[in-house]
Amino acid sequence: MKRPFCVLAIIYILIIIVLHLLGVVFLGYDKVYSNLNINSQYTGMILDVKDEKDYKDVYVIKLISDNKYINGRKFLINVKKDNEKLEYGDQINFVGEFLEPDSKRNYGGFDYSLYLKTQKIFGTFNVQNFKIISKNNGNKIQKNIMNFKQYVKETLRKYLNKDEAELGIGLVIGDRTGISKEVENDFKDSNLTHMLAVSGSHFTYIILAVGYVNKMIKRNRLGKIIVIIVIILFMNLTGNTASVARSGIMAIMMVIASLFYRRADIWTSMSVAIIFQLISNPYIIFDVGLQLSYGGVIGIVLFNEKLTELFIKYFNKKETKIKQYIITAISVTLSANIIIIPIMLLNFNTLSFSFIISNLLAGPLLGVIVIFAFILLFASLLLGSLLKPLFSVLNLLISMLINIAHICANLPFSKVYMPTPNILLVIIFYVCLAVKIYGYKKEKYINVILIIIIIFNFYFPILNLKVKDLEINFIDVGQGDSTLIRVNNKSILIDGGGSAFESKSDVGEMTLLPYLLDRGLISIDYVIVSHFDADHYKGLIYVVENLKIKNIVISTLGQESNDFNEFIALVRKKNINILEVNMGDILKIGKAKMEVLYPNKEPINDNVKNNNALVFKFIWNDFSILFTGDIEEVAEEKILSIYKNNLEKLQSTVLKVAHHGSKTSSTNSFLEAVNPQIALIGVGKNNKFGHPNQGVIDRLNNLNCKIYRTDEMGEISISVNKKHKIRVEGFI
């Protein structure tokens, strides 16, 4: 067996994945949770500043306790901004409310619990108050590393413009927390996100720099030992993330091989690196950064040489240095992306067709920036502000990189959203690649299979849309409403959640659009907006911007506002058909129909948006669901008066409870008129409004109505077949 570590790594990975799928818990997470009090006093030592938000600081802390299950475990703590700043080594006593991280709350959704596990973090404390009991604890070397990290941040922020400084910090030490959303999105859309992560190129610069010094002092073996020490220090400086650890361990193995006059084998180095990482933390195999990091290297190793030979054969008949660079850059980029693209589709649903251009332009600039930045940072320790003119040059270089990312991000087809591919097809794709690489007599069949897989993934949304009967998905969008209905191969999206506050966490971008793509949808037939409160329509903005929407359904009565005008302007810009509906209108969707029950032509002037919300009944065969937006008692009374001689018009199998179960809605008389079998309440977990109100819950219980809530159950799915059998499931 030529590479036993490769076989061992593959077996180890498969065992971890299988055990995880079977529900095995690694590293004692279950025991930690059972030994934590929800709201108690703890002692811990600060390890790092995780994030600095507008209203709070987030730190990584290591608990110190007599309890063996929680002693030494890492947690996040949220501390209000107006508290004293904490530093590495500060030991504190604090009172904190423990929050166990959420797992997935929607189909295909983000698993925050698993994300924290990939970083070996066990959860979060909301700290009410704390007291520093001692400072300067912890490892002295690590203390100096953290001080240097702070020096890098302060120096770059002092001499560079804001965007350039924060990006420079990300490029040099991998800390992306300060990078603006606009810049980060440009790097993401131009397929340059990998530049914001410390990678193998950083360690190459370290090896070359120390090697140069070593050549001058002529101490070869000592120099290599120094290289290993510097690599370990740099790994700690950059947070020792999954991609950093991969690059660092492989670099160390390469240096160790040269120490013993052996040739480093890249496959063995990768295998040893992943084994070390998995022994430290089995959950790291689910880290997207790790998958992309190893995937990129594997792609380059497998395909770069063959692609380079191919390009040279056809395009390099007259060799020049520029042509050589272009061929090398394109070969490396294509090679890495052959493996990376399926991972990107699984996790981010995006394809970039401008990645070759962006990497050609940005690649050489990145190396210059990183090397120049490190030289300036070390030199400024001695020369200080004398180097200010040179920092202006660094600012210009980083500004050029930002502009390249921005231009490439806005090229046609720079970012194309795709439905989430079938995981089985991705596995078959990689298996076919492996068979093709290692040789197979009937290679043409492998080529056919690969083509079929690619085509199938492009048409997967069409196949996925073919729902046999009726499916309703009441999506968990936090404190808001959003419902997806699929019937007769048509898709209907009702509201989209959202927040009134500007935030990096856009519900449309982070929750709703990924959800729709996970469901295989790249176009929506009807988007219905009940009213223009932020928690109902704002999440739709990102969806309208990025997916094909055929029809927008609105009621203009009582909706005139800046929010309404901005949304309609976007809809018109996208050339989407607008359907304005009023009471009595019926919209037929295949064999189903949507019957508008409210508002009429006389608006309610009290709480205008809520009380003039679109109320409609979706009907399919004998099944019906009543959507009520955020109407309150005054609107319910008006609806009852309109239909007092025809109350059966309101009767529905399912009721989407108005206003998230607020006490201002769901009066007894209205609930009795609807007489639902099932009630759906869209409400955020631990929301500050106290929704749903207990009185509303009691009134629904009095009707013997089954209550389903997104705060307790996550996404709620209702399926109805032609035999009128109803099945309701909560995701959690």
Does 401 score more than 50 pLDDT? yes
Checking DSSP bridges between strand 654-656 and strand 678-681, what pairing results, if any? parallel
Task: Report whether pLDDT(49) > 50.
Answer: yes
DSSP string, 465-485: H--SSEEEEE---SSS--EEE
Cβ proximity of 347 and 514 under 8 Å: no
**Out of 227-241, 275-289, 470-484, least confident range:** 227-241
Q: Which residue has the higher pLDDT, 558 or 257?
A: 257
Other beta carbons less than 10 A from residue 205's beta carbon: 15
Quote the CA–CA distance of 251 and 227 in Å, as a whole number. Answer: 9
- Does 1 score more than 60 pLDDT? no
- DSSP category for residue 508: I
What number of other Cβ atoms are within 10 A of residue 77's Cβ? 23
**512 three-state secondary structure:** helix
pLDDT of 318 above 70: no
Q: How far apart are CA 517 and CA 512, in angstroms?
A: 9
- Give the mean model confidence (pLDDT) for residues 643-672: 94
Task: Find tokens 């159950």 and name the residue.
Answer: 713
Angle at 298 between CA 293 and CA 304, to 5 degrees: 115
Specify the 3-state DSSP secondary structure of 580. Answer: strand
Q: What percent of the chain has pLDDT over 70?
A: 91
| Distance, CA of 177 to CA of 123 (rounded, Å) | 19
Contacts of 387 (CB under 8 A, 6+ apart): 376, 379, 380
Number of Cβ within 10 Å of residue 297's Cβ equals 23
Query: What is the strand order of the sheet 654-656 is part of?
Result: 586-589, 592-598, 615-620, 623-627, 654-656, 678-681, 706-709
Q: Which of 84-93, 322-331, 512-521, 602-611 has the lowest mean pLDDT?
A: 322-331
Tell how many helices (H) and how many strands (E) occur in the chain: 25, 22
**Which of 246-250, 459-463, 475-479 has the largest mean confidence?**
475-479
* Edge-first strand listing for the sheet containing 716-720: 577-580, 548-554, 523-528, 490-494, 483-487, 470-474, 716-720, 726-730
Within 519-667, where are the H helices? 534-546, 562-573, 608-611, 633-642
Tokens of 63: 């608990």
Phi, psi angles (nearest 5°) of residue 526: -135, 130
Q: What is the pLDDT of residue 454?
A: 63
Is residue 325 predicted with pLDDT exceeding 90?
no
> According to the model, what pLDDT value does residue 211 have?
66
**Left (φ > 0), alpha (ψ -120 to 50) or beta: where does 172 sit?**
alpha
Distance CA 579, CA 719 (A): 27
Rounded to an integer, what distance in angstroms lies between the CA atom of residue 723 and that of residue 720?
8
Quick one: pLDDT at residue 216? Answer: 65
Q: What does the alpha-carbon distance between residue 51 and residue 48 come to, in Å, rounded to a whole number? A: 9
Ramachandran sector of residue 590 (left: φ over 0; alpha: ψ -120 to 50; beta: rest): left
Q: Which tokens sit at 731?
A: 């995701």
Q: Which CATH architecture has domain 466-730?
A: 4-Layer Sandwich (3.60)
597, 649 contact by CB (below 8 A): yes
CB of 399 closer than 8 Å to CB of 161: yes
- pLDDT of 200 > 80? The answer is no
CB-based contacts of 404, cutoff 8 Å, min separation 6: 190, 358, 361, 362, 365
Strands annotated E in 14-164: 39-52, 56-64, 74-80, 91-99, 121-134
Report the C-alpha dihedral over residues 78, 83, 88, 90, rounded to 10 degrees. -110
User: What's the pLDDT score for residue 395?
Assistant: 95
Distances (CA, A) of 567 to 355, 481, 515, 583: 31, 18, 21, 22
Distance CA 620, CA 722 (A): 10
Name the pLDDT band for 124 (thresholds 50, 70, 90).
very high
**Under 8 Å between Cβ of 726 and 482:** no
Q: State the pLDDT at residue 462.
A: 45
Bond into 692 cis (ω within 30): yes
Helix axes 242-259, 288-315, angle to 10 degrees: 60
pLDDT of residue 465: 47
Helices (H), 260-353: 266-280, 288-315, 321-348
Extract the tokens encoding 453: 């897989």
pLDDT in tens, 242-278: 888 998 899 899 888 888 778 888 899 999 999 999 9
Percent of the chain with pLDDT over 90: 49
Q: What value does the mean pLDDT take over residues 288-299? A: 90
Q: Do 689 and 660 touch, CB atoms closer than 8 A?
A: yes
φ, ψ (nearest 5 deg) of residue 319: -75, 130
Mean pLDDT estimate for the chain: 87
Q: Which range has highest mean pLDDT (307-311, 357-361, 622-626)?
A: 622-626
Taking residues 171-199, report their average pLDDT. 85
Q: If you average pLDDT over residues 591-610, what whole number do you get?
A: 89
Which among 226, 235, 181 has a CA at the least distance from the CA of 506?
Answer: 181
Task: Spell out the CATH class of 35-136.
Answer: mainly beta
CA distance 415 to 289: 20
- 642 within 8 A of 615, measured Cβ to Cβ: no
Tell the burial category of 382 from Cβ atoms under 10 Å away from its Cβ (0-12, 13-18, 19+): exposed
pLDDT at 458 over 60: no
Residue of 300, 206, 299 whose CA lies nearest to 255: 206
Phi/psi region, residue 108 (left: phi>0; alpha: psi -120 to 50; beta: rest), is left
